[in-house]
Structure 1
Amino acid sequence: GMPLPVHGDGSNVRSYLYCEDVAEAFEVILHKGGVGHVYNIGTHKERKVLDVAKDICRLFSSNPDEVIKFVDNRPFNDQRYFLDHQKLKNLGWSERTSWEEGLRKTMDWYVSNPDWWGDVSGALVPHPRMLMIPGDTSARINGNGYSDSPAHQTNSSQMVVQESSKISAPPPKKPTLKFLIYGRTGWIGGLLGKLCEKEGIPYEYGRGRLEDRSQLLADIRTVRPTHVFNAAGATGRPNVDWCETHKTETIRTNVVGTLTLADVCKEHGILLINYATGCIFEYDKAHPIGSGIGFKEEDKANFTGSFYSKTKAMVEELLRDYDNVCTLRIRMPISSDLSNPRNFITKISRYNKVVNIPNSMTILDELLPISIEMAKRNLKGIWNFTNPGVVSHNEILEMYREYIDPNFKWINFTVEEQAKVIVAPRSNNELDATKLKEEFPEMLPIKESLIKYVFEPNRKTPKF
């Protein structure tokens, strides 16, 4: 490649700031700054120009000692620029992007978007500038930044700029997938990251809080995703009873946060895959227990027993008016990781007593990959995101005893007895998975999926 010219000895010091942090600073000033005030936008982190050149060489796997070429210092080259930006920090702004990350993203953008920046060969000489050469229309600037032909003294002057050589730019790349995932510390969010790595899909976890629009906008600008996945939410620890005593926090995340994220995605034309819940229904006269009649996607919530379910039902209804959202109703999620405390099987296997009611459930090992495929297909609207059919607590525990622990025992109790030891009632229902099954006909019924994805991989008992 070409040499990398450095003016003087490269000891000049500058403070570099990633462009999107600068844009965010403008936004903070716009909304929080005082009229007529002056704000410095900068950083306290300074770097020598020579160190910057070496970092660039490393990014391109080049040897700095071979690539860097020291040239004459440019006239009036200041030794140091520095701005005190404390006044801006007092408005709540802070630098979010590290030097290493910002430099890498800048390089990636230039490599991936040649059609945007075009021919920049004129800026690659040591002293790029526009010359005023009197009366010489044939003068050209050579690779060292100086004129090849003498200037003729006449009364007229001619502007001469470097004549750039043609750069063979690669053809534009087709848009590729890039996922932005919220819920990094959560169960489903963590599994999504692992699935993306397995499928070779670039992804990043969101850093902003869902209820803070400015932080979400910063995430969108930084990551530039093709799709956003929301696996964040307030479910409560150790269970949804927590939401009964933390209602403001539950509303802030489950309602305000989700709606804000959906609106930001709408503003940027991005599809949002929202992992919601099917725990907003309960068996009723039109959908009696054991009838095989499940609630459909167009049905409105009828369960208001827990505050958690109330917030989820509320936000689902509001999201119906967003045509960029794919809402996935998950129920009693199960995975092959039987050590995870959020796993429904793990929960009931540790209870002293359990109720025995058939329910729709979601086998994450099978359905989470389907949710990624739904994003690829740009599917929208509400989907009952459960395996077809229902399974009861006792049926699951019988499988647990057959495959995992032949000595396992449990005790049943009634819903009325359960109500005496929990704060909020629980949802029990069957969801109609016909819509999802028609889109993905290979999807297994709940009991078959349990055996294939959960119990067989974890089998500890001998096969007969």
Structure 2
Amino acid sequence: MSTTPLVTALNSLKQYIWHPCPLEACKTTGQIKRFIHVSTDEVYGETEEDAVVGNHEASQLLPTNPYSATKAGAEMLVMAYGRSYGLPVITTRGNNVYGPNQFPEKLIPKFILLAMKGKTLPIHGDGSNVRSYLYCEDVAEAFEVILHKAPRNNAPAQKSSLKFLIYGRTGWIGGLLGKICDKQGIPYEYGRGRLQERSQLLADIQTVKPTHVFNAAGVTGRPNVDWCETHKPETIRTNVVGTLTLADVCREHGLLVINYATGCIFEFDDAHPLGSGIGFKEEDTPNFTGSFYSKTKAMVEELLKEYDNVCTLRVRMPISSDLSNPRNFITKISRYNKVVNIPNSMTILDELLPISVEMAKRNCRGIWNFTNPGVVSHNEILEMYKKYIDPSFNWVNFTLEEQAKVIVAPRSNNELDASKLKREFPEMLSIKDSLIKYVFEPNKKTSA
């Protein structure tokens, strides 16, 4: 019977996907110490030209051709055998290899041969595309290291490879981080030292020996940021001096700091008008100086740019499923006598705090707008509250001018562009969808 290319391809699929013999053999013998699966970086797909962070082991697999799709599928099988049967698997994703005796049709030998003959070198596109390469002897040495030293999927060391040091134990976000670590089985300890006391921070690091540090400590004021207007030295001590001291100490020890900052350092302007959908990007200069709290946050964010070990997350009007927490934005506005009605970017902690933990694992750095995509207004939130929680709930609006008469410092209103975070975590929900899924559906008390 004649064999067509399609039949040949299907037979290959049967052999390598439907009947994974090497994996089955290793599972059956139970004597294999390491199963190394050699994959490819093509499983990541194309890297965006403006990507700030390169592909890492936890990046989403987005193969763009049949070859890379089969390699991604093979990775899934290897991972499944590791998880289901405890097989000691290791997967490597190498990029383009070059060296002596390489096939002449490959890029580097092809260009060398053409150049030696004085012929034109074929350039695809405009010539600006870049690729990563590995020399063949380096690849061989890398496999030697991986064979003998790489942690396996079931290695005990990997279970405790992370340990977090969290500052902000008594705070809202700090407490939630501890619960996330408990749920994910990540060892952690809360910092005992005051941020502005360098010796105390050093003692914490020496005692805890963390792999990552999370800073959820800071002064926001009680009951609100108006407190900062009359307690400026205290605000500076923690928000500026303390944060910078922590970043500096961690830099000396090679530690990444996930710093929960604020996006309340912007306000709508001519370039970012209200209702335009044009949000402030990470590289934009803060333009809101209405409150002393925001001034200190903008100041420390600018200074932290000089620290390459800091990941700054701009949180805005945080919301969680705990509607009893007085720091929850929904809880706040549901208790106000009157509220303004302005669309804003906001942060759903139930969805985004686990993402911040993943960002630590991915070694993300720099500034990130840490909000769900899109905006939502005060009235839209309260309408959801009325629909899902309390049908009898009512509220009264007032203007910004009227609000100014009952507060000490103006409040920030803005939209942050969350596209950078969305590219890194494509599964992240829009603000309104996230509100429903993580906040209102779990608290639903009506038949809506």
TM-score (norm 2): 0.65
Residue aligning to 1:254: 239
Cα displacement (A) at 1:462 = 1.1
Gaps of 5+ in 1: 1-169
Counterpart of 2:399 in structure 1 is 414
- Note if 1:233 corresponds to 2:204: no
2: CA distance between counterparts of 1:430 and 1:299? 12
Q: Which residue of 1 aligns with 2:306?
A: 321
Match of 2:348? Answer: 363
Residue 401 of structure 1 corresponds to: 386
CA-to-partner distance for each residue in 1:352-402, whole Å, 9 max, x for gaps?
000000000000000000000000001000000000000000000000000
Question: Please, which of 210, 215, 221 is the counterpart of residue 195 of structure 2?
Answer: 210
* Secondary structure of the corresponding residue to residue 412 of structure 1: coil
Residue 449 (str. 1) matches residue 429 (str. 2)? no
Q: Does 1:381 align with 2:366?
A: yes
- Tell me if 1:221 matches 2:170: no
Alignment-derived partner of residue 143 in structure 1: none
Quote the offset at 1:274 in angstroms. Answer: 0.1
Following the alignment from structure 1 to structure 2, what is the Cα–Cα distance between the partners of residues 384 and 173?
31
Find out whether 1:302 has 2:302 as its counterpart: no
Paired amino acid for 2:345: S
Q: Give 3-state SS (helix, strand or coil) of 1:177's partner.
A: coil
Contact 2:160 2:186 in 1 (8 A): no
Output the CA distance in 1 between the equivalents of 2:157 and 2:239. 40
> RMSD of the alignment, in Å?
1.2
Q: Distance in 1 between matches of 2:430 and 2:447?
A: 25
C-alpha distance in 1, partners of 2:434/2:406?
32
Q: State yes or no: 1:186 paired with 2:171.
A: yes
Matched to 1:385, the amino acid is: F
2:267 to 282, 296, 315: 282
- In 2, the alpha carbon distance for the partners of 1:340 and 1:316 equals 27
Q: Deviations over 1:199-230 (max 9, x none)?
A: 00000000000000000000000000000000
Amino acid at match of 1:370: I
TM-score by length of 1: 0.63
Deviations 1:119-173 (A, max 9, x none): xxxxxxxxxxxxxxxxxxxxxxxxxxxxxxxxxxxxxxxxxxxxxxxxxxx9977
**Paired residue for 1:428?**
413
Aligned 8 A contact 2:168 2:215 in 1? yes
- Secondary structure of 2:165's counterpart equals strand
SS class of match (1:355): coil
Indicate how the Cα distance of structure 1 residues 243 and 171 shifts in structure 2: closer, same or farther if over 3 A, else same: closer
Per-residue deviation, residues 385-431 of structure 1 (Å, max 9, x unmatched): 00000000000000000000101100000000000000000000000
Q: CA deviation at 1:174?
A: 8.4
Q: What residue identity is the alignment partner of 2:354?
A: P
Structure 1 residue aligned with 2:320: 335
Residue aligning to 2:56: none
Opposite residue 340 of structure 1, the aligned amino acid is N
Classify 1:392/1:172 alpha carbon distance in 2 versus 1 (closer, same or farther; 3 Å).
Answer: closer
**Structure 1 partner of 2:330:** 345
Please point out which of 251, 261, 264 is paired with 1:266: 251
- State the alpha-carbon separation in 2 of the partners of residues 173 and 242 from structure 1: 45
Provide the rounded CA distance (Å) in 1 between the counterparts of 2:430 and 2:222.
Answer: 30
Higher radius of gyration, 1 or 2: 1
Q: Give me the whole-angstrom Cα distance separating, in 2, the residues matched to 1:378 and 1:172.
A: 19
* Post-superposition CA distance 1:252-299 (Å, at most 9, x none): 000000000000000000000000000000000000000000000001
What SS is found at the alignment partner of 1:353?
coil
* Partners of 2:358 and 2:243 in 1: CA distance: 22
Separation in structure 1 between the aligned mates of residue 436 and residue 223 of structure 2, nearest angstrom? 27
Q: Where do 1:123-202 residues align within 5 Å?
A: 176-202=161-187
